[in-house]
Amino acid sequence: MLLVASYAFYGWWDYRFLFLIIFSTVVDYSIGLGLFKENRLKRRKVLLTVSVLVNLGLLGFFKYYNFFIDNFVTVFLFFGNEIQVSSLEIILPVGISFYTFQTLSYSIDVYKKKLKPTKNFIAFSVFVSFFPQLVAGPIEKASKLLPQFYELRVFNYKKGKEGLQQILWGLFKKIVIADSCAPFVNDIFVNYSSYSGIVLIIGAVLFAFQIYSDFSGYSDIAIGIAKLFGVNLMTNFKTPYFSKSIPEFWRRWHISLSNWFRDYLYFPLGGSKRKLIIVVRNIFIVFIVSGFWHGANWTFIFWGALNAVYYLPSFILKSSGINRVVFSTNNFIETINNFMSMTITFMLTVFAWIFFRSENISVAFEYISCIFKRANFFNLSYLQLSNQSIKILLFYLIFFVAIDWFYRNKSHVFINSNHFMKDKIIKPFLYLITVLAIILSLNNMANSFIYFQF
């Protein structure tokens, strides 16, 4: 039933790409069985190579073909040679970046004998195509997700209730926060040359909230829907903007992808157990590849490299025993030092998001240049033009940040705390505000999820 629902869900977008996901499923299922039967190392390597080439080949063609063709032509033009190579009108299959990584990790784990391959083709097909997390994650390991599809699931009221609660908070993040930020972000980034420096900074900050609320909102909805079917998915975000360092941020942001690159790229390269220069190389490779995974644009590559630069000082100091990353405590009010660390980390993250959001590298640098070169830096006339909208958005953002902070060590906002004040007084108030805000913001629902494009 889950397989039918998952294929129907994916086919509703474009039935032609169902054949692609079925092909990927058959390939990795067959390779898993082949790896289990084969003991000769050379043949095992051949089977794994086939899986890598098929998965990355499909991803490379659909996502990066035109990028490489365009840059190939540009390089030849730079050296004075003009060549005629046509780009293709390629539709990017939704979720291909996610399910290819999920199936590839299965083959790698079977190859390393960390996982016994399944003989249940239906269960494996559901593992690849499970509709709540198919198009934007979380990217799950087979060892955690696949066994759940062997079990006979019976509806669990407690888990179902938690699922609905998490869906509600995910909808709030997406509809109320992300989609309310979107019009301001789009306008400021498109017309950046017309606005003052302070407005451009506000635009970057709003995009930081937009992408976090959009992506973590989807993750909450996916995790919540999965719970309705008795399936547990991993937590993908842990209030990353309260991190006190860049390494901590990357342990809290898009956790499933960070774990994937750690386990299947960083560790195989040697991880942190090599000479410092090799470790620095490994860190840059992981962040640049992670950036490129997000999209076929130099902006994503630069964004990844910039985060590697951010990451290195904390890593080097930590390896010298000087710095120790400490996660946010349960204290309602943090120390001044922790608050300053959070602020600096957030500012660095916002600056990097400018490259992520910009159309190209040139626009990103022009945007940053406009922040500092404008004589009327503190001109807020733009905000006055949309005064009422900004006031409503500001209220929502303050409410969102306060709730995120208050429940930062919980799996989701509405979880029971066995505390009378929180469960009987605060929680009903939160339900009321959340539902009303969603209803009042329904006209903002024109925007699709940002990570659908990846």
What residues contact 234, with CB distance under 8 A and at least 6 apart? Answer: 138, 140, 144, 255, 256
Pair 136, 222: CB distance under 8 Å = yes
What residues contact 7, with CB distance under 8 A and at least 6 apart? Answer: 18, 129
Please give the structure tokens belonging to residue 315.
């890593």
Identity (one letter) of the amino acid at 443? N
Nearest to 443 by CA among 218, 179, 168: 179
Residue 419 appears among annotated catalytic residues: no
Beta carbons within 10 angstroms of residue 283's beta carbon: 20
Nearest to 251 by CA among 264, 263, 238: 238
The one catalytic residue in 254, 294, 412, 419 is 294
Catalytic residue IDs: 294
